[in-house]
Chains A and B, each alone.
Chain A
Amino acid sequence: MAWYRRPEIRIIIVALTTILVITDFFIAVKTYNDFIKQLLVWSVIISGFTIVLGAVNIGVVHGKHIIKKTPGQWYFSLWLIICVIVTFILAAGSEGIPAMKSAYDYLINNIHTPLTSAAYGLIGFYFASCIFRAFRGRNSYVAVFLLSGCLTLLLNAPVTELVPFIPAVGNWVVAVPNVAGTRGIVIGAAVGIIAAGLRNILGLERGGLLAEE
Chain B
Amino acid sequence: MMALSKITTIDRRWIWLVVMIAFAIPIIRPLAIPIKVSEDTRIAFNAIESLPEGSVVMLDVEMWMRYYSELGPTTEAFIYHVLKKNLKLVIWASSPEGAPFAETALRAVNPENMGKKYGVDYVHLGYIAGGEKAMASLMTDIHGTVTTDYYGNNIKDLKIMENVRSSKDIKMIACVMSTQPDDRVRQYSITGGIKWIALTSGGWVPGIKPFVASGHVLTTVGGIRGGAEYELLVGRPGSGLISTDITSVTLLLMVALVIVTNIGYFAERASRRGKK
Footprint of B on A, CB under 8 Å?
25, 33, 37-38, 40-41, 43-45, 47-48, 95-96, 105, 108-109, 112-113, 116-117, 119-120, 124-125, 127-129, 131-133, 135-138, 146, 149-150, 152-154, 156-161, 174-175, 178-179, 182-183, 186, 189
Contact = CB atoms under 8 A, between A and B. Distances in A.
Contacts of A189: 182
A194 to B, nearest CB: 13
Given A33-B140, A44-B134, A156-B247, 20 more contacts: A40-B137, A40-B140, A41-B137, A47-B129, A48-B130, A95-B152, A108-B97, A117-B68, A127-B254, A129-B16, A131-B257, A133-B12, A135-B261, A137-B262, A150-B255, A152-B203, A157-B251, A158-B33, A158-B225, A178-B206
Nearest to B211: A186
B256 to A, nearest CB: 10
B114 interface: no
B24 to A, nearest CB: 12
Contacts of A25: 191
Q: Which 10 A-B pairs have the closest CB atoms?
A: A44-B130, A120-B66, A159-B248, A157-B251, A129-B12, A116-B66, A136-B265, A158-B35, A113-B65, A156-B202
Interface string B227-257: 0100000000000000010011011111101
B23 A132 contact: no
A161 B141 CA distance: 45
A137 B262 CA distance: 7
Contacts, number: 156
A48 B253 CA distance: 43
A22 B213 CA distance: 26
6 contacts: A48-B130, A119-B66, A125-B15, A131-B258, A131-B261, A132-B257
A57 B100 CA distance: 26
A124 B19 contact: yes
- Most chain A beta-carbon neighbours within 10 Å: one of B68, B131, B137: B137
Interface string B1-32: 00000001010100110111001000000000
B210 interface: yes
A58 to B, nearest CB: 15
- Most chain B beta-carbon neighbours within 10 Å: one of A25, A43, A154: A43
B266 interface: yes
Contacts of A47: 129-131, 133
Nearest to A138: B265
Main secondary structure of the interface of B (DSSP, over half): helix
Contacts of A138: 265
A105 B104 CA distance: 10
Contact of A178 (B12, B33, B67, B209): B209
Nearest to A94: B152
Given A117-B69, A156-B202, A186-B182, A40 B133 contact: yes
B198 to A, nearest CB: 14
B213 A158 contact: no
- Most chain B beta-carbon neighbours within 10 Å: one of A95, A150, A158, A179: A158
A121 to B, nearest CB: 9
Given A95-B152, A137-B266, A152-B206, A128 B222 contact: no
Interface string B142-180: 001100000010000000000000000000000000000
B66 A43 contact: no
A99 B262 CA distance: 57
B192 interface: no
A44 B145 contact: yes
Nearest to A156: B202
B276 interface: no
Contacts of A161: 34-36
A124 B104 contact: no
B137 A37 contact: yes
